[in-house]
Amino acid sequence: MMFDKYLIDADSVRDTRSTTDPDGFSFSAKLGYYRGLGLSMIEELAVSIDGEELPRAAVRFDDGHGPLTLDEMETAYDRRWAFGTPATILVTRPGGFPRGSHDLGLRQKLRVSYLPFPSFNTDRKTIVR
């Protein structure tokens, strides 16, 4: 919870493909757990716009070693997201990120080995475009 306000980099939101015909958007995010985690321990990266959660299948994660779907992350045993290291969250969404002022949300559900329950980290930023 202590690091939640640092999850989303609000200045990094960009449309993907092209600015005239975007097929989605991306943004930089950081892990909300102070020790870093293997990607297989990240159970959920839920992205929302104005409180409406986008489909899981539309979200991909890229730590600089190539994008993975959330399903592929479940078996990415050789990859790790280090604390403080930004990764790119890619979202397939026709039209990209909406114009105007909108709330971008990110919820991380993490499986931490010594906790008997999942750790949830949530951040929301107002994006004006």
Name the pairing type of β-strands 42-49 and 52-53: antiparallel
- What is the residue extent of each domain of the chain? 4-128
The CATH-assigned architecture of domain 4-128 is Sandwich (2.60)
Q: Computed from CA positions of residues 42, 44, 48, 51, in that sequence, does the dihedral angle turn out positive or negative? A: negative
Query: Mind listing the pLDDT tens digit for each residue in 3-36?
Result: 899 999 999 999 998 777 899 999 999 999 999 9
* β-pair type (101-110, 87-92): unpaired
Give pTM, 2 decimals: 0.94
Bridge partner residues of 28 (DSSP): 88
**CA–CA dist 68, 10 (Å, integer):** 22
Q: pLDDT tens digits, residue range 86-102?
A: 999 999 999 999 999 99
Q: Which DSSP letter does residue 54 get?
A: P
Count CA atoms closer than 13 A to 86's CA, side-chain side. 13
